[in-house]
Amino acid sequence: MDPLVQPIQPAGNAALARISKLLALIYNYIRRLVRSKKAKPVAMASSTPAPTAAPTIAPASTSTPPAAPVKARIIDEQTARLKYWVEEPPINDHPSAEALIKYFRPDIKDRDAMIRVLKDIRLKAWQIKYYPCVGQWLFFKFGMTEHSTYPEIVDRLKQGQRILDMGCFMGFDGRKLVADGAPSSGITNMDLEDRWFPLSFDLFRDENTFEGEFFGGCDITDEDLFGEDSIHRGRYDMIYIGYFIHLFPPSQQPKILNNLVQMLKPKTGSMIFGNTSGTAKPSGYLMKADFAAPTKNERGEWVRPDFLFHSTKTIVDLMATSVKGDGEWDFVGEQSAINLDLSPTKAYAEHFKDVELVNMNFCMRRM
């Protein structure tokens, strides 16, 4: 795959699409030319979009990093399947997910046919990344709807506001917004991994009707995505980060949230909200992420990154730290009990049985 990725947009005006594609090709050619003359020892992922083009990601460094110790290597598929794989989609336990598929796919006439479609899409997603959320069908949970502010979100979109779903995976939450009456034109989907997007169109078959945006190759740690020259800076009324913040080590999370704040409109009512893996333990629960790629610590050693299950206290502290000195904000962290007998949560809970799992929702709103 070309390291300079394009955003996947639904079909629309054909002439405009051709012009946009041509401009994107020219823009990416120039970026390649510039980078070839300004090589860096280690290339950072870049997400600077042209006005009519997508965010892009820089070519990877040609240098070979030191091999990681075996114990720190990313999890292999066989081990991942043993830990995270649930064979059958839990449509019996999630009628809202089944209803969403039926909304977009009236051509699927029976449940057996739906199961075949879902298994095919999930397998293709699994072959991209061995994530627990993929293997255990956790994307069947519409985290956005778990927030008490969900009706407000739909209403604000109807009023012409814009929401960013950062780390959107295949855009399930965005499709749920559409099914609940929100205009798709106000929805921006963004992910580091752009290969999820064709799968989403294969599943929902809405490439000709979805009027929102899909941006791939977007690295929230790269200032090109949210800096002064980015089209995303100060663009969004609401940013949703469903099961996203836990992907980063705890030490990086305040900076990650602050980077997202730069993409919010600087006005009263703009907000970042989301869900994360939670624990009833007051101080949170820290463990090593065996499903994530190893990183170097301060001593140059390859180790697995830390993974933090947040408590209500730690998530509120995180939000407050991320915007310290940046005006007045309201912070809310809410935990609720998990039905541990409900698939796919049951498989997830069995793997993390020492965590004292809870649902953890949070919201930070500019006052």
Mean pLDDT calculated for residue range 279-308: 81
Mean pLDDT calculated for residue range 277-300: 81
Domain of 272, CATH number, reads 3.40.50.150
Instruction: Tell me whether residue 128 is in a domain.
Output: no
Structure confidence at residue 288 (pLDDT): 79
Q: Indicate whether 234 and 348 sit together in one domain.
A: yes
pLDDT over threshold 80, residue 54? no
Closest C-alpha among 90, 145, 143 to residue 359:
143
Instruction: Tell me whether residue 83 is in a domain.
Output: no
Mean pLDDT calculated for residue range 179-197: 97
Instruction: Tell me whether residue 97 is in a domain.
Output: no
Structure confidence at residue 211 (pLDDT): 97
**Domain boundary at 20, 46, 61, which?**
61
Instruction: Tell me whether residue 70 is in a domain.
Output: no
For residues 263 and 357, the model is more confident at 263
d(CA 8, CA 236): 19
Instruction: Tell me whether residue 82 is in a domain.
Output: no
Q: Which of 43-57, 135-149, 199-213, 218-232 has the lowest mean pLDDT?
A: 43-57
Highest mean pLDDT, choosing among 39-48, 51-60, 192-201, 340-349: 192-201
For residues 55 and 101, the model is more confident at 101
**Domain boundary at 19, 45, 61, which?**
61
For residues 74 and 318, the model is more confident at 318
If you average pLDDT over every residue of the chain, what do you get?
81
d(CA 252, CA 256): 6
**Domain boundary at 61, 77, 94, which?**
61
Mean pLDDT calculated for residue range 273-279: 93
Q: Which of 48-62, 281-295, 300-314 has the lowest mean pLDDT?
A: 48-62
Domain range for 147: 138-366
Q: Indicate whether 146 and 56 sit together in one domain.
A: no
pLDDT over threshold 80, residue 101? yes
Structure confidence at residue 298 (pLDDT): 78
Q: How far from 356 is each of 38, 277, 293, 337, 359, CA to CA, in Å? A: 50, 11, 25, 10, 10
pLDDT over threshold 60, residue 6? no
Instruction: Tell me whether residue 78 is in a domain.
Output: no
Instruction: Tell me whether residue 358 is in a domain.
Output: yes
Q: Indicate whether 162 and 41 sit together in one domain.
A: no
In the chain, the number of structural domains is: 2
Structure confidence at residue 7 (pLDDT): 52
* Confidence tier at 249 by pLDDT (50, 70, 90): confident
For residues 231 and 346, the model is more confident at 231
Structure confidence at residue 26 (pLDDT): 53
Prediction pTM value: 0.78
* Confidence tier at 68 by pLDDT (50, 70, 90): very low
Mean pLDDT calculated for residue range 239-250: 92
Q: Indicate whether 142 and 21 sit together in one domain.
A: no
pLDDT over threshold 50, residue 20? no
